[in-house]
Amino acid sequence: MPGYIFLSFIASVLSCDQELHGKERKLSYELYLKVLFISKVLTYLVLLWWFWRVPVASISQQLVQPFGKVLSWSAGGILNENVMG
């Protein structure tokens, strides 16, 4: 009978150890996800800030002129007779 009590005690200790290990793993994984999310957001913000004023298209001014002020080209200016937008 004392052997059974000892084995029961060992089983409960192992069970608690496995439970703690599972909680530690879960906390570690959650921390990893938070760090990954924050780094992704910071990367996107830096890229957005870096390329905010870079023109994405160059259109001849003669093509844009008939539309007058309807089109807004606030991101760029006129460069080599082309409108940058």
| CA dist., res. 48 & res. 46, Å (int) | 5
Band of residue 67 on the pLDDT scale cut at 50, 70, 90 = confident
Domain boundaries, the chain: 1-52, 53-85
User: Token pair 């994984």 is at which residue?
Assistant: 29
Note the pLDDT of residue 81: 57
pTM for this structure? 0.47
Write the burial class of residue 85 (CB in 10 Å: 0-12 exposed, 13-18 middle, 19+ buried). Answer: middle
